[in-house]
């Protein structure tokens, strides 16, 4: 016990939807509070179809449920792009395409967004 120890918040997540990953991924993560997991997972399947329709088949959608730890969210949804340019193109489409806006409005009945962030996977 005489060694210096650092403790910090830890969260254990369980994958409830997993498309896969891209090496060296560029991520857009959304932490959400979900009221109906089954309904939201079905909505994410519709989101996947939108990605495919708009040429984003290379971007993965993964969703994780919080199973342990203190958080202010219940699920983490991570879009996993192979490059910074692809992530930016997706974010542009999500901001400008009517079909993405419609999906976001429809998904609001299942989720409340807590926060969003962009990240770069550097551990692999």
- The residue with greater pLDDT, 5 or 121, is 121
Q: Is the pLDDT of residue 60 over 90?
A: yes
Strand partners, 30: 77, 116
Span 28-47, average pLDDT: 98
Q: What is the pLDDT of residue 117?
A: 96
Can you tell me which residue has the tokens 């959608």? Answer: 61
Q: What is the pLDDT of residue 2?
A: 63
Query: Span 12-120: which CATH code?
Result: 3.30.70.100
Considering the entire predicted model, what is its pTM? 0.89
Write the secondary structure of 43-67 as one string of H (helix), E (strand) and C (coil). HHHHHHHHHHHCCCCCCEEEEEEEE
CA–CA separation, 49 vs 43, rounded Å? 10
Span 32-50, average pLDDT: 98
Contact of 122 with 41, CB cutoff 8 Å = no
pLDDT band at 86 (very low <50, low <70, confident <90, very high): very high
Q: What is the pLDDT of residue 122?
A: 78
């Amino acid at each position: 016990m005489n060694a210096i120890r650092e403790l910090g918040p830890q969260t254990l997540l369980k994958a409830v939807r997993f498309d896969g990953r891209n090496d060296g991924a560029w991520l857009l993560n959304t932490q959400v509070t979900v009221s109906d997991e089954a309904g939201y997972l079905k909505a994410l399947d519709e989101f996947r179809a939108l990605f495919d329709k708009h040429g984003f088949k290379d971007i993965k959608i993964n969703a994780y449920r919080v199973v342990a730890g203190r958080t202010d969210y219940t699920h983490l949804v991570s879009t996993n792009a192979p490059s910074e340019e692809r992530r930016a193109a997706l974010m542009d489409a999500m901001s400008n395409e009517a079909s993405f806006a419609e999906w976001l409005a429809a998904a609001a009945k299942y989720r409340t967004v807590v926060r969003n962030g962009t990240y770069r996977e550097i551990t692999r």
